[in-house]
Amino acid sequence: MIVMTRIDYRLIHGQVAFTWTNNLSANALLIANDSVAQDNFRKKTLQLAKPDSAKLIFKSIADSAKAIASGVTDKYRVFIIVENIGDAYRLAKLVPQIKVIDLGLANKKAGAQNIAKSVYVTPEETAQLQELEQRGIQVLVKQAPTDPDTTFSSLIK
């Protein structure tokens, strides 16, 4: 069961590893990212931040979708973490079980608009997130579980 999908360019760090994982009662963290899945150094580094209470899995976007579709993840409370909005968009289009996406941290880049603390979106990313909302996926912007639920669409000017 997917408990949440989070966009966070840092992937696993203290807030994700402990606060979010505990709040969601997640027992599996799935890092869905094409480059991380192929990078042993990044995987080893991210393993250091993994909470003891959860299994850590690294898969490409396509392999993540295949694993979820196969049912192999059904026995877990899966917290999916993606590095960027594009990854969340691609994965959500492949995985109908994704119902909530948390836009936690999206780094500053050329042409991006700051819509919340540590959240920057380009026009293309805005269109992608709006499309996901139109498809019935709840897109929230919140850094910590105790933050109020703020919908992405309410922050776009």
CATH code of the domain in which 15 resides = 3.40.35.10
- How do residues 11-24 score in pLDDT, each as one tens digit? 998 888 889 999 99
Task: Specify the number of domains making up the chain.
Answer: 1
**Which amino acid does the sequence have at 40?**
N
- How do residues 52-102 score in pLDDT, each as one tens digit? 899 999 999 999 999 999 999 999 999 999 999 999 999 999 999 999 999
- pLDDT score recorded for residue 110: 94
Helical pair 85-94 and 123-134, crossing angle rounded to 10 deg: 30
Distance CA 10, CA 106 (A): 9
**Which amino acid does the sequence have at 16?**
V
Mean pLDDT of the chain: 95
- Of these residues, 13, 55, 75, 108, which one is catalytic? 13
Task: Identify the residue whose tokens are 């150094």.
Answer: 41
Cβ burial, residue 46 (10 Å; 0-12/13-18/19+): buried
Residue-number span of the structural domain to which 141 is assigned: 2-155
Distance CA 113, CA 156 (A): 9
Distance CA 157, CA 153 (A): 9
- pLDDT score recorded for residue 73: 94
> Do residues 79 and 20 make contact, with C-beta atoms less than 8 angstroms apart?
yes
Tell me: pLDDT of 157 over 80: no
CB atoms within 10 A of CB 9: 16
- pLDDT score recorded for residue 92: 98
> Do residues 136 and 98 make contact, with C-beta atoms less than 8 angstroms apart?
no
> Do residues 87 and 32 make contact, with C-beta atoms less than 8 angstroms apart?
yes
- pLDDT score recorded for residue 23: 94
> Do residues 71 and 1 make contact, with C-beta atoms less than 8 angstroms apart?
no
Determine whether 13 is an active site residue: yes
Distance CA 53, CA 29 (A): 10
Report the share of the chain in percent with pLDDT over 70.
99
